[in-house]
Amino acid sequence: MTPVLILSGILFAIGVFGVLTRRNAITMLVSVEIMMNAANLNMVAFSRLYHPELMTGQVLAIFGIGIAASEAAVGLALILTIYRRYGSTDVDRADLLKG
């Protein structure tokens, strides 16, 4: 099991790194998707480890993929709005909440 968990950890770290360092909104969205896939991988792995007879984790992963799809749709819609507003997808420019 360890190699699978290491892989998911690496994927999650890649996703966090991408969200923290990229300014492009689409790249950030892609990074978020990578993090979600790391989570899905974990769910399948732990399900197999502790309850091989139940398939709970696999079902949850499929739900996660579906939710990821809708999340991507919402996220892309937001990015589209940001693009219309600022003329680019650079999130650094969307800082209206600055105090």
Contact pattern from residue 75 through residue 94 relative to another protein, giving x for each residue in contact according to CB under 8 A and a dash for the rest? ----------------xx-x
How far apart, in whole angstroms, are the C-alpha atoms of residue 7 and residue 40?
A: 12
Which tokens hold the place of 51? Answer: 């309850």
By CB under 8 A, residue 74 contacts another protein: no
Stretch in the footprint of another protein (CB under 8 A) among 13-21, 36-44, 52-60, 63-71: 13-21
By CB under 8 A, residue 16 contacts another protein: yes
Determine the distance from the C-alpha atom of residue 50 to the mean position of all C-alpha atoms in its chain, rounded to a whole number. 25
Task: Confirm if 11 and 38 have CB atoms less than 8 A apart.
Answer: yes
Which tokens hold the place of 58? Answer: 């696999």
Residues in touch with another protein (CB under 8 A):
16, 19-21, 23, 28, 91-92, 94-99
